[in-house]
Amino acid sequence: MKRFVVIVFALALAWSSCSENTPEPEENQETRDSIINVSGFSQELSLGFPVEFARSNKPRARYNEMTGEIEITAGEGFHIICTEESLSISQLKEELETDLLFSYRYETENPNELVFVQVLPEGTELSYHFIQRLEFPGITIIARSDQSGEFTKQQVQTMMSVLANSKPSAS
């Protein structure tokens, strides 16, 4: 019995020393470099995440074949929906203004982005959101915060900064 315990202990020690030198899983290799590639549109895109943010939030991108949308998530408070379409920011603002539940207070409005706050009917400000138009050679993408999510101004700024570091992937 004593011999069995010694063998089990030796095997456990050998196994633990080997596992310490094992490289990180493949999915974390991309986040270490802070780049994820997003495919599903007519061109693949690369998104650049701040290294520390990527390490702690593990960014992911998922293409939804049913809706044609790409969802980009990275931990709590980071959820972007992207579509390949060529609507203008003013057209997207018009769509917002048809909302029967919320009104909107606009903080930033220019031809490529719209930052706004959802306001409930009684006047309570609920959540920050954004819409951004990304134009690359041969492709226009509309990126927006998930409208069903609730975000702070800082979370919206983080999502927009990631989009500012996006570019077509090298083919």
**For position 126, which CATH number holds?**
3.40.1000
Residue in this structure with the two tokens 């929906």, named with its chain if needed: 81
Is 163 a domain residue? yes
Find the domain containing 43 and state its range: 26-168
Is 12 a domain residue? no
CA 60 to chain CA centroid, nearest Å? 7
Residues whose CB is less than 8 angstroms from the CB of residue 57 and which lie 6 or more positions away in sequence, other chains included = 49, 74, 75, 78
Residues whose CB is less than 8 angstroms from the CB of residue 87 and which lie 6 or more positions away in sequence, other chains included = 133, 142
Domain count, the chain: 1
Is 21 a domain residue? no
As given in the structure block, the two tokens for residue 126 are 């609920």
Is 8 a domain residue? no
Is 14 a domain residue? no
Is 52 a domain residue? yes
4 pLDDT tier (thresholds 50, 70, 90): very low
pLDDT tens track for 62-100: 988 899 899 999 989 999 999 999 899 999 999 999 999
Q: Could you give the C-alpha distances from 87 to 19, 45, 63, 131, in angstroms and in order?
A: 51, 19, 20, 11
Is 13 a domain residue? no
- Is the whole model's pTM more than 0.85, yes or no? no
